[in-house]
Amino acid sequence: AEALGSGTAAFLRKPVGDNDRAAAKRFLAAGRDGLDLGNAQEALLSAEEAVRKDPNNPAAWGLKADALNALGRFSEAEAAAQRSVDLDPGNAKGLRALVWAQLHNRKAEEAAGNATKLIRLDPENAESFLLRAFAYELAGDRDRMLADLRTAAGMDPRFANHLARALAGLRLFDPEGDNSGLMGMLPPPPVRKIEIPWGLLGLLAFAGSAAFAAWRWRGEAEAFVRERLLPRRTVGAGLSVRTETPRPEEALLAGKYRLERVAGQGGMGKVWKAYDPALQRPVAVKEMSPAAVAKPQFRALYLKEARALAALPHPNLVEIFEVIETSAQIYLVMEWVSGRTLQQILAEKGALDLEAAKAVLSPVCEALAAAHARGVVHRDLKPANIMVAASGRVKLIDFGLARELGRAEPEGDGEAGGAAGVLTAARTRSLAGTPAYRPPEALQGLISPAFDVFSLGVCLYELLTRQLPFGPEGLTGENGKFVPASELVQGL
């Protein structure tokens, strides 16, 4: 292996002519083809030629590391990957090869640190969280391992059984074992043999098969949404280095979260993109507006609904990690979701066909059903509040937590109803929702699960026709008619 230092990229670079640089690119392409076809030895020979022609090319060193990893020569792979990263610290492929080699070389701390760099390059890449989970497993840090596995499984359904096997106490990464299939889907953990009555066994088998079918359907649906609605990306492409200036440690919110930038702002407050240094992941922090937080009745309702949502785990709802209450402010710490809203997708792609519309709204229906069962009403369902994450998973965002509180006081039993004691069938003096999507009863301040169902119908109509059924002002007494979607879309 080449003797490698940890100097800067400028120090490592050597003069290379245009002809050698072009030749290196040809060897690099041939090596990638060889690796894709499973010929690691051929890929290594091509990579070595590419390095010989252009030792300044980080991709050539990265290819060499990948080939050496595939051949099980992990010490040499680590050296080559380190050279790739030294030449280009933002090189995700080189970092990934470096982490894989360091895991096999039992360098848990170094692997975890480099996996964290990968996560900072692309916080939506589930594989990076999975790699760091392996490093934490190697270090014996079970809590952090499980936290990263939960994040990875939430981003990509392929990794659900990694989490299940870890929770069952099974080892995932073995430095001495065959880990070639570890980055793909694993089988579920084996069921322990216990005595179960035959009748109960049949019920469990039915429930298990139904759950597996639902899980498989969800994975297939997310893949369909990802392929149909999101732009294509290649592995390692589209990565950007984290550029936000970190705040000093004393600026950590509640001693835990570093607020980095305002990601959105509205009448009820603002949403920060933040960072959790302990779990090393991005989070969203929703900050209530000073005008709203100053009113005790609104503050209490906001907290009650936030806690109800926090107790409502669902794969298509944004998870609330923590509610932070101070004398002057209320903060909701939530899952950070990167992706595109349906509003953005409609603007980019135009109307969707029926299959795509069903695929993206079916998980919204599931999320709403779960919320309604707990007495939680969204109150502002629209394409701008439906997010399609990079993994293809659909997330319902921005629940109407005490929405429009600055406009009016709640009237009567505004907090009544629902298992969670939050707003279900209630009457308020404020108008919830966005005019184009809210039902006529909203004009009387009446809010119930039917509010969301009406909004869902408007969303479906808009996805299929690219039009609003009642225009931007919504349904009123004067415009109760609309053109059926089947008359606007041929073959619907």
> pLDDT by residue (tens digit) across 75-126?
999 999 999 999 999 889 999 999 999 999 999 999 999 999 999 988 888 8
d(CA 39, CA 491): 49
What's residue 216's pLDDT? 57
Highest averaged pLDDT of the listed ranges 74-88, 149-163, 183-197, 258-272: 74-88
Question: Is 156 among the catalytic positions?
Answer: no
> Given a cut of 70, is residue 167 above it in pLDDT?
yes
Q: What is the pLDDT of residue 18?
A: 84
> Cβ-count burial of 405 within 10 angstroms (0-12 exposed, 13-18 middle, 19+ buried)?
buried
Q: Which domains does the chain have, with CATH numbers?
A: 9-167 (1.25.40.10), 249-335 (3.30.200.20), 339-488 (1.10.510.10)
Task: Please say if the pLDDT value at position 410 is more than 50.
Answer: no
Name the pLDDT band for 49 (thresholds 50, 70, 90).
Answer: very high
Question: Is the pLDDT score of 156 beyond 50?
Answer: yes
Q: Among 412, 406, 399, which Cα is nearest to 431's?
A: 406
User: What is the structure's pLDDT at 307?
Assistant: 80
User: Among the ranges 40-44, 277-281, 311-315, which has the highest mean pLDDT value?
Assistant: 40-44
Counting Cα atoms < 13 Å in the Cβ hemisphere of 32 gives 11
- Which is more confidently placed, 124 or 412? 124
**364 has a pLDDT exceeding 90:** yes
pLDDT mean across residues, the chain:
79
Task: Let me know: does 257 contact 273? Beta carbons within 8 Å.
Answer: no
pLDDT band at residue 314 using 50, 70 and 90 as cut-offs: confident
Q: Are 302 and 330 in contact (CB under 8 A)?
A: yes
Note the pLDDT tens digit of each residue in 207-245.
555 555 555 555 666 666 666 666 544 333 333 333 333
pLDDT of residue 432: 61
**pLDDT one-digit tens code per residue, 6-35:** 444 554 556 767 888 888 889 988 888 888
Best-predicted range by mean pLDDT (153-162, 358-367, 382-391, 443-452): 358-367
Best CA proximity match to 90, nearest among 125, 50, 59: 59
- In the numeric block, the tokens 């252009």 are attached to 54
CA distances in angstroms from 224 to 220, 229, 314, 388, listed in the order given: 6, 8, 20, 12
Q: 364 with 316: CB under 8 angstroms?
A: yes
Label each residue of the chain as H, E or C.
Answer: CCCCCCCCHHHHCCCCCHHHHHHHHHHHHHHHHHHHCCCHHHHHHHHHHHHHHCCCCHHHHHHHHHHHHHCCCHHHHHHHHHHHHHHCCCCHHHHHHHHHHHHHCCCHHHHHHHHHHHHHHCCCCHHHHHHHHHHHHHHCCHHHHHHHHHHHHHHCHHHHHHHHHHHCCCCCCCCCCCCCCCCCCCCCCCCCCCCCCHHHHHHHHHHHHHHHHHHHHHHHHHHHHHHHHCCCCCCCCCCCCCCCCCCCHHHCECCCEEEEEEEEEECCEEEEEEEECCCCEEEEEEEECHHHHCCHHHHHHHHHHHHHHHCCCCCCECCEEEEEECCCCEEEEEECCCEEEHHHHHHHHCCCCHHHHHHHHHHHHHHHHHHHHCCCCCCCCCHHHEEEECCCCEEECCCCCCCCCCCCCECCCCCCCCCCCCCCCEEECCCCCCHHHCCHHHHHCEECHHHHHHHHHHHHHHHHHCCCCCCCCCCCCCCCCCCCHHHHCCCC
Q: Is the pLDDT of residue 273 over 50?
A: yes
pLDDT value of residue 221? 63
In the predicted model, is pLDDT for residue 384 greater than 60? yes
Question: Could you say which of 54, 66, 88, 380 is catalytic?
Answer: 380
Express as a percent the part of the chain with pLDDT over 90.
34
Cα separation, 27 vs 60, whole angstroms: 9
> Which range is least confidently modeled, 242-251, 335-344, 442-451?
242-251
Residue 52's closest CA among 62, 61, 42, 39? 61
- The pLDDT value recorded for residue 218 is 59
Q: What is the pLDDT of residues 426-480, one digit of tens each?
A: 444 345 678 899 888 877 777 788 899 999 999 999 999 999 999 988 887 666 7
Distances (CA, A) of 161 to 136, 176, 184: 18, 21, 10
The per-residue pLDDT for 491 is 86
* pLDDT band at residue 251 under the 50/70/90 scheme: low
For residue range 286-297, list pLDDT tens digits in order: 988 888 788 888
pLDDT at 414: 34
